């Protein structure tokens, strides 16, 4: 009695194979380094019911990776503990340290992608800083979670899995620094935390770049602003960031905060204005005086998402030698202003930088 048809076909294929030949080996998995900095993704609550009340930055990177064994299905992974802090405590010095480590790893032949685990409070600032300063086309992904791993319906494990899968994907290369949260892939340039207690907290005013689903990446658009290898800022040559501060616009505002920041040594002030970066008539004279003393005034908006500050609307920026932040929110405007000041003190050049990035 002969073999069943399927087994007979396999036997014929085996017989036709050249002597000494072997079946094709699966492609080697991408090598991804995870840099841990703390945050909620490394947090722990007192009980499973604590999704919003917990201690951040408690779980070390080795335990974090061990809690998601499925990572081995999408990449060869190793981890480093860079910091163990809640992200609201991130300083400029730590931004520089992290950026230099990412840059150094990106130059290694045995590293195909990098993931940074991060607290969500300032995740968008770190992602934008890396997007502006790390000269690599390799995938760099920043990820966090809105709930600690001890909580019911914790989101950190899946976020981390999706981040590693994205960093391991060749399709993620050349798109700048990415943020992966809640199955969505965002550009670090646009994304911001817009909700403080739900897993769909991170949104981009111009939309996500794509999605990460079951270890696969799906893309729908690409960034157009300058980033990474096309940036004029290089983390390898930056050791200090000038002081830039943010003052909030509101009804009944006074110039007190602006004047205090200037007295403390600020080189530029981000005005988080109402509407189109509007400035109260009670504040305008003080800002003009500060600009005359050499302090840059940058009009941003406190309005969340989907718009941008128009130059010479609301205020005569050309006349006052002020700058507009375009569509960057105040916290991202602070990052770009500090980097711009490492290159120039010319307001027109800084304005060009805000339009390019």
Q: Which residue numbers are catalytic?
A: 40, 120
Say if residue 87 carries a ligand binding annotation: yes
Alpha-carbon distance values, 163 to 155, 206, 214, 216 (Å): 12, 21, 11, 10
Buried b (16+ CB within 10 A) or exposed e, 65-90: beebeebeebbebebebbbbbbbeeb
Say if residue 120 carries a ligand binding annotation: yes
Specify whether the CB–CB gap between 191 and 124 falls below 8 A: yes
Say if residue 121 carries a ligand binding annotation: yes
Which residues, in sequence order, are CB contacts of 237 under 8 Å at separation 6+? none
- Residues in binding site for substrate: 87, 120-121
- Residues in binding site: 87, 120-121
């Amino acid at each position: 009695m002969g073999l069943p048809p399927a087994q007979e076909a396999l036997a014929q294929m085996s017989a036709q194979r050249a002597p000494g030949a072997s079946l094709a080996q699966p492609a080697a998995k991408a090598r991804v380094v995870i840099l841990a900095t703390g945050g909620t993704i490394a947090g722990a609550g007192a009980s499973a019911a604590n999704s919003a009340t917990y201690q951040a930055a408690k779980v070390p990177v080795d335990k974090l990776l061990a809690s998601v064994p499925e990572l081995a299905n999408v990449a060869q992974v190793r981890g480093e503990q860079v910091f163990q802090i809640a992200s609201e405590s991130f300083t400029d010095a730590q931004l520089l340290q992290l950026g230099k480590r990412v840059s150094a790893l990106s130059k290694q032949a045995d590293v195909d992608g990098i993931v940074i685990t991060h607290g969500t409070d300032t995740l968008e600032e770190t992602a934008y800083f890396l997007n502006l300063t790390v000269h690599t086309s390799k995938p760099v992904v920043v990820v966090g979670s809105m709930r600690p791993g001890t909580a019911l319906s914790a989101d950190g494990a899946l976020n981390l899995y999706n981040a590693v899968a994205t960093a391991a994907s060749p399709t993620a290369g050349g798109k700048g620094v990415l943020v992966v949260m809640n199955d969505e892939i965002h550009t670090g340039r646009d994304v911001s935390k817009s909700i403080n207690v739900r897993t769909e907290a991170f949104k981009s005013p111009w939309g996500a770049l794509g999605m990460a689903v079951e270890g696969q990446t799906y893309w729908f658009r690409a960034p157009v602003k300058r980033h990474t290898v096309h940036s004029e800022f290089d983390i390898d040559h930056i050791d200090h960031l000038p002081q830039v501060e943010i003052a909030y616009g509101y009804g009944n505002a006074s110039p007190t905060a602006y004047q205090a920041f200037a007295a403390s040594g600020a080189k530029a002030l981000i005005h988080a204005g109402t509407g189109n970066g509007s400035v109260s008539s009670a504040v305008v004279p003080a800002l003009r005086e500060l600009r005359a003393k050499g302090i840059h005034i940058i009009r941003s908006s406190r309005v969340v998402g989907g718009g941008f500050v128009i130059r010479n609307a609301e205020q005569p920026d050309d006349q006052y030698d002020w700058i507009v932040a375009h569509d960057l929110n105040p916290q991202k405007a602070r990052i770009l202003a500090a980097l711009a000041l490492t290159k120039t003190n010319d307001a027109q050049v800084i304005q060009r930088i805000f339009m390019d990035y």
